[in-house]
Amino acid sequence: MNWKKWLYGFISAVVGGVASGIVVLLAGLANDPMSGEIMWTRLGMACVVLGIWNAANYLAKAPAPEWDGVDRRES
Mean pLDDT by 10 residues, the chain (75 residues): 86 92 82 84 89 93 81 68
Partnered with residue 31 across adjacent β-strands are 38
Q: 29 is in which domain, residue-wise?
A: 3-60
Residue 69 within any structural domain of the chain: no
Whether 13 is in a domain gets the answer yes
Terminal Cα distance for the chain, rounded:
23
Number of domains comprising the chain: 1
User: Helix, strand or coil for residue 1?
Assistant: coil
In this structure, is residue 43 part of a structural domain? Answer: yes
31 within domain boundaries: yes
22 located within any domain: yes
∠11-16-21 over CA atoms, to 5°? Answer: 130
The verdict on residue 18 lying in a domain is yes
Would you say residue 7 lies in a domain?
yes
Domain membership of residue 67 (yes or no) is no
